[in-house]
């Protein structure tokens, strides 16, 4: 891991230790069990990376150029990028962040995203977290994608714009639909963009992607509203 990267993760690990106080119990590394962070500096360096080849558009691994679904159904998104595969301690960390209230995982996971974004230089003036439907937001109390975008934005000094995209319809959870057509149909027409999206270049932020359908729907909505470029950045690809 480069020097800068590991110092960022080190700082995030310290943040986690502070945030852990909110959980009222110690946090241990999900990789090695060491106390202090959801993923320690050492284990962060050993997470399984998504390496090329992968689809230029949806980041599906093992494909050179564009995968068949992306060729058959061209989408407005400029591309999705993911530093990691959804596996091992990272999978567990995301699960805890999403479903078990472990907001303390956000600084380290956001740090991993910041390291990647800084290296790859995906163009974007603003980070736009994939919005949750207000009902789901009330249930969970927070949007994990917003937490990740906030941490990443803070580290790289990129503004987070939650106002550019809202979710107007709830969609059934992705796991319930099987085919990629079904998933695309599920998320069509559920987002709404602000007129302020016109002329902006944005990076959508989400925790995980499988087929990319949610990010595709967001990108289409933003491009319809006049956004100049829309990239997607997710922590991990679940293929």
Q: Please give the residue ranges that form the binding site for Zn ion (CB under 5 A).
A: 29, 31-32, 34, 40, 43, 55, 57-58, 60, 67, 70
Which tokens go with 155? Answer: 């580290």
In this structure, the chain runs to a length of 239
Cα separation, 79 vs 231, in Å, equals 5
The least CB distance from residue 121 to Zn ion, in Å, is 21
Closer of 40 and 237 to Zn ion (Cβ): 40
15 vs 154, beta carbon nearer Zn ion: 15
Name the CA dihedral angle for 80, 230, 113, 238, rounded to a multiple of 10 degrees: -30
Q: How far is the CB of 135 from Zn ion (least distance, A)?
A: 31
Nearer to Zn ion, 58 or 205 (CB): 58
Quick one: 74 or 139, whose CB is closer to Zn ion? 74
Smallest distance, Å, CB 63 to Zn ion? 7
Nearer to Zn ion, 193 or 215 (CB): 215
| Lookup: tokens for 15 | 């943040």
CA distance 104 to 87: 19
If the CB atoms of residues 82 and 225 are measured against Zn ion, the closer one turns out to be 82
Q: 150 CB contacts (<8 Å, ≥6 apart)? A: 106, 110, 160
Which residues, including other chains, have CB under 8 Å from residue 208's CB and lie 6 or more apart?
A: 86, 94, 234, 235, 236, 237, 238
CB of 220 to Zn ion, least distance (A): 15
CA distances from 201 to 99, 123, 204 (A): 31, 7, 10
Q: Which is nearer to Zn ion, 93 or 197 (CB)?
A: 93
Do the Cβ atoms of 58 and 47 come closer than 8 Å?
no
Q: Is 83 helix (H, G, I), strand (E, B) or coil?
A: coil
Q: Are 81 and 236 in contact (CB under 8 A)?
A: no
Q: How far is the CB of 232 from Zn ion (least distance, A)?
A: 12
Which H or E run includes 81? Answer: strand 79-81
Smallest distance from Zn ion to CB 195, Å: 30
In angstroms, give the least distance from the CB of 58 to Zn ion. Answer: 3
């Amino acid at each position: 891991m480069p020097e800068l990267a590991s110092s960022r993760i080190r700082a995030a690990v310290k943040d986690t230790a502070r945030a852990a106080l909110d959980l009222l119990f110690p946090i241990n590394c999900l990789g090695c069990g060491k106390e202090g962070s959801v993923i320690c500096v050492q284990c962060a360096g050993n997470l399984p990376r998504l390496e090329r080849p992968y689809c230029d558009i949806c980041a599906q691994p093992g494909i050179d150029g564009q995968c068949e679904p992306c060729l058959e159904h061209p989408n407005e998104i400029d591309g999705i990028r993911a530093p990691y595969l959804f596996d091992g301690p990272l999978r567990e960390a995301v699960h805890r962040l999403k479903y078990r209230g472990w907001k303390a995982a956000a600084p380290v996971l956001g740090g991993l995203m910041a390291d990647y974004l800084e290296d790859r230089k995906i163009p974007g003036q603003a980070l736009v977290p994939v919005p949750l439907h207000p009902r789901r937001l009330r249930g969970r109390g927070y949007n994990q994608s917003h937490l990740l975008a906030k941490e990443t934005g803070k580290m790289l000094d990129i503004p987070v714009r939650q106002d550019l995209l809202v979710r107007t319809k709830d969609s059934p959870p992705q796991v319930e639909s099987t085919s990629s057509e079904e998933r695309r149909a599920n998320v069509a027409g559920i987002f709404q963009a602000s007129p302020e999206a016109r002329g902006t270049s944005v990076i959508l932020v989400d925790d995980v992607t499988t087929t990319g359908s949610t990010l595709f729907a967001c990108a289409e909505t933003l491009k319809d509203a006049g956004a100049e470029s829309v990239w997607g950045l997710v922590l991990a690809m679940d293929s």
